[in-house]
Structure 1
Amino acid sequence: MSHSSAEIDFCTQSCQHGIRLDGRACEDFRPLELELGLIAQASGSARLHLGSTDVIVGVKAEVGAPLREHPDCGRLQATVEMSSCASPEYEGRGGELWGLQLAQALEASLVPEHPEKGGGGLDLRSLSIIPGKAVWLLYVDALVLNDGGGVLCVCVCVALAALSNTRVCVCVFTMGGGAGEGDAAEPEIELEDDEEGEGGRPLQGVAEVPLIVSLGQVDNAVVVDPTCLEEQCAASVMHIAANARGEVCGVQQSGRQGVDPAALVALMERGAAAGSEVLASLHAYFKQAPQQGT
Structure 2
Amino acid sequence: MSPSPVTIRDQAYAKINLSLDVIERRKDGYHNIDSVMQTISLADGITIEVMPFSCSARKSAQIKLSGDSNVPLDDTNTAARAAKLWCEKTGATGIDIVIELKKRIPLGAGLGGGSTDAASVLRSLNKLALGNKLPAKALTDYELIETATQIGADVPFCLRGGTARCRGIGEVVEALRELPPWPIILALPEFQISTAQAYAELDALARPWKRPDTDSLLQAIEQQNLPDISRSAHNVFSNLHNPHRQHFETLKYHLLETDATMVQMTGSGPVFFAIYESEERRDQALDTLKSAPQKKNKFIATQLRRALR
TM-score by length of 2: 0.34
TM-score by length of 1: 0.35
